[in-house]
Amino acid sequence: MMKILKQYWSLVLTILLIVILIGIGNNKTNFGGLISSAGKKVAQNTIDYINNNLLSGQTATLENVEEMSGVYKFKLKIDENEYESYVTKDGKILFTSGIEIKPATSTKEATTATTVAKKTCNDLTKENQPLLEAFVVSECPFGLQMQRILSEIVKNIPSLAQYIKVEYMGDITNNKVTSMHGDKEAQENLRQVCIREEQNSKYWDYLSCHIKKGDVDSCLTQAGIDTSKLTACLNDANKGLAYIKKDFDRQNKFNVTGSPTLILNDNSVSEFDFGGRTAEAVKTVLCCGFNNQPSFCSQQLTTEQAATSLSETYASGSSSAGSCN
């Protein structure tokens, strides 16, 4: 009897091993069914971030991901080179210092493989009339941080307002706006879009009030918003929904996945190449988009890191590089 049981379990284990090996062999991206879907998603979101913010003229692809020591270890491929890196399970911190570099064939290739160079002003696309698009959602702590920065820029250099457009992330399902943090956020996104489109001269006043406490009613009053006009926009699919759908179309065009994301002249750009989440850094990004920089671009703004979430004050006192995905 014991011999029969041993033979039975030996057969079961053999079959299980064969199934696992077949699964690994048939999976082009080598996850092998051994990592959770959450791990794959975090790794892919990290690859998307690298492509959108860290690479220029190259594209990284996800080759492999596995869980180890409380983080996800993943392999990415750039051109013909493969590198290993690590990301925390919540997808917030990328450990680029953990990248394992394959031998390069020249000093130039070795430098390129080891570091991803920050962009400079000369690297950014220029236009006579540049446009800086800032994609956010209204209840994301880091989206509010970017709105605070842009409000600070507009307050100090009003001439730059015409070159800035805050746009909103989300989707439309069954003729209803949806957003990553739920219906309240979706409705606030839509409210801000309606004000932006139909009462634009009051948009920044409303925004600069809303980022402090999120008190909608008092901010509508303080900014002098025509609430009848606003309500009509919110309830008319040919207005509110049509306006915000254009934002979502732009979001999809640029494959925006995180709040905030900056797009300058139709190209992804990172404020961290120019100093981080500060008014001066984001102003510099925008001014780098001009063929000929106007004189007001020489005005220096604060280099303090802006506060996240709702806040009565501008500065946070510490650096924050987070985003909502």
**pLDDT tens-digit readout, 269-296:** 999 999 999 999 999 999 999 999 999 9
Residue at 39: amino acid letter: G
List the domain boundaries for the chain.
Answer: 34-117, 121-298
| pTM score | 0.67
Distance CA 62, CA 74 (A): 7
Options 3.20.20, 3.10.450, 2.30.30, 3.40.50; CATH of 34-117: 3.10.450
CB 226 within 8 A of CB 233: no
For the domain 121-298, what is the CATH code? 3.40.30.10
**pLDDT tens-digit readout, 38-84:** 778 888 888 888 778 766 567 888 888 887 766 878 787 877 667 77
The DSSP symbol for 119 reads: P
Q: Beta-carbon neighbour count of residue 121 at 10 Å?
A: 15
Q: What pLDDT is recorded for position 135?
A: 98
Count of CA atoms in the C-beta half-sphere (13 A) of 120: 2
Portion of the chain with pLDDT greater than 70, in percent: 78
Q: Do domains 34-117 and 121-298 have the same CATH topology?
A: no
